[in-house]
Structure 1
Amino acid sequence: MEDFSWAKLYPEVYKVCTLFQMTEIANPIEFHYKKLDQFLQDGPQCGLVALAMCVGNPTKDSIQNLFETAKKYNFSNNGEMFSVDNMATLAKEVLPIGTEIKVYNGYLDNDFIKKSLLGGSIMLVPYDTEKDNSPGLCKGHKAHWAAICGGILTENDFYVLARHGKARNVAIWKLKVLANSNKQLLEFSPDRKFQDIVYKLPIGGISGPFGLKEKSILIQYKC
């Protein structure tokens, strides 16, 4: 049994490491973690909830305020956020003055992203969810948002720590798995098209230049 001594300062991370005996991250070379408060979403609010976690102290009222701002800018009808560019604009409205917010275009599994996460940056990343909420390959049909709040470098791989609106626990995923999920966000879910709900989609759809495919947001708080 591993003791995961590196994670003992962070009870929510230590809980996941020990519960699932994640021996692959038992002795990391380097790691960084920023605590984000958990909040469960109500309806199609995953992007707003992830952003509210980055702002800090997410509440029902703060998420409702984000929703009202998103509607004001014509970014969302029901709480959905299918544009990374619109999400970045919303982030600039609500994150503290001096916070550096950039849209990142490209595949996530690279040295720049690893260095950024180990250096204290956090990210907002769209991806597809599997049944256990881990990143999957569903062509965008299960598109979801997560706040990436840390990185773990091991001898053999790189992992990210994440918070999102469908789970109470911190998630720990391989960066490559998240990157592959983010890369294949190709189309709006056919099932959602036939629901009695009108969703706001960007010009060109979720795989277009203003959508979600191979796009994410880097956030660096002012020191």
Structure 2
Amino acid sequence: MSVSWAVMYPDLYKICELYQMYEILYPKQLKYVPLPTVLQDGPQCGLVSLAMFSDNPSKDTIEYLLKTARECGYTYHGEMFSASNLCELSKKFTKFHASVYSGYLNDNYIKDFLLNGGFMLVPYDADKNHSPCLNNGHKAHWAAISGIIETEESVFVLAKHGKSKNVAIWSLNTLANSNSQLKEFAPDRKYSNIRYCLPEGGLAGPDGLCNKAILMKTL
């Protein structure tokens, strides 16, 4: 398989070759900005994904993000179950204009937004390999979206998150379906002795994660 169009992006080329992604051999449209690798320590996926868009994506930045989020009452341990709260942090710590999107992600508005150079922070259920799955919100995780590939038949997004050094290539439809069913806080966490900061109404509430994403664009 040859994905010559991806040669200018070594990280993307590596994944295309490794997983033999024949479905994106001939992209119709492509927009991609590589993001730095930032790995999480504990339940910090939202803060780590946000840090990827900061001017200094370092451990010190994540620690300062965590400190600020705690002071604002957004988190206890780094968990971010409110898209609205993570959006507020995005406004403070990045050079981008951030806003909360409410709705199904596999939409022409989202496609055009990404093709025009926009970025996203997206919550979804993470499978064992960290790809999007359907688990009712029990495995909620955050990813940073910094690219899109459109083919004649499908649309894919390019993602980084705090549990992998590699860029991920996911179907936008698969990510959208995962994002739209984030409705329930994991029972094993709910009945543990660890406190978690949840928004009013839970994951499916107006400030939660279900059908929510943070759109980021250059000012």
In structure 1, C-alpha distance between the alignment counterparts of 2:179 and 2:56, rounded to whole Å? 27
In structure 2, C-alpha distance between the alignment counterparts of 1:195 and 1:15, rounded to whole Å? 40
Amino acid at match of 2:86: M
Pairwise CA RMSD: 0.8
In structure 2, C-alpha distance between the alignment counterparts of 1:39 and 1:112, rounded to whole Å? 29
SS in 2 for 1:55: coil
Q: Give the TM-score of the pair, scaled to structure 1.
A: 0.96
Superposed, 1:96-115 pairs within 5 Å as 96=95, 99-115=96-112
In structure 2, C-alpha distance between the alignment counterparts of 1:56 and 1:177, rounded to whole Å? 30
Amino acid at match of 2:54: V
The runs of 5 or more residues in structure 1 that have no matched partner are none
In structure 2, C-alpha distance between the alignment counterparts of 1:114 and 1:6, rounded to whole Å? 20
In structure 1, C-alpha distance between the alignment counterparts of 2:55 and 2:22, rounded to whole Å? 31
Aligned to 1:55: 54
Aligned to 1:20: 19
- Answer yes or no: is the 8 Å Cα contact 1:146–1:163 preserved in 2: yes
Amino acid at match of 2:77: N
In structure 2, C-alpha distance between the alignment counterparts of 1:75 and 1:53, rounded to whole Å? 19
In structure 2, C-alpha distance between the alignment counterparts of 1:188 and 1:168, rounded to whole Å? 27
In structure 2, C-alpha distance between the alignment counterparts of 1:191 and 1:7, rounded to whole Å? 42
Superposed, 1:69-108 pairs within 5 Å as 69-96=68-95, 99-108=96-105
Per-residue CA shift, 1:48-80, capped at 9, x if unaligned?
Answer: 000000114421111000001101110000000
In structure 1, C-alpha distance between the alignment counterparts of 2:157 and 2:184, rounded to whole Å? 25
Amino acid at match of 1:113: I
In structure 1, C-alpha distance between the alignment counterparts of 2:20 and 2:78, rounded to whole Å? 36
- Answer yes or no: is the 8 Å Cα contact 2:55–2:94 preserved in 1: no
Aligned to 1:167: 164
Tell me which of 136, 149, 152 is aligned to 2:146: 149
In structure 2, C-alpha distance between the alignment counterparts of 1:41 and 1:94, rounded to whole Å? 18
Q: Which moved more, 1:208-217 or 1:55-64?
A: 55-64
- Answer yes or no: is the 8 Å Cα contact 1:37–1:57 preserved in 2: no
Amino acid at match of 1:177: T
In structure 2, C-alpha distance between the alignment counterparts of 1:25 and 1:178, rounded to whole Å? 17
The runs of 5 or more residues in structure 2 that have no matched partner are none
Matched length: 219
- Answer yes or no: is the 8 Å Cα contact 2:32–2:148 preserved in 1: yes
1:10 aligns with 2:9: yes
1:129 aligns with 2:118: no
Per-residue CA shift, 1:8-49, capped at 9, x if unaligned?
Answer: 111100000000010101110010001110111110000000
Aligned to 2:34: 35
1:117 aligns with 2:114: yes
Per-residue CA shift, 1:111-131, capped at 9, x if unaligned?
Answer: 110111111000000000011
Q: Which moved more, 1:49-58 or 1:61-70?
A: 49-58
% of aligned pairs identical? 53
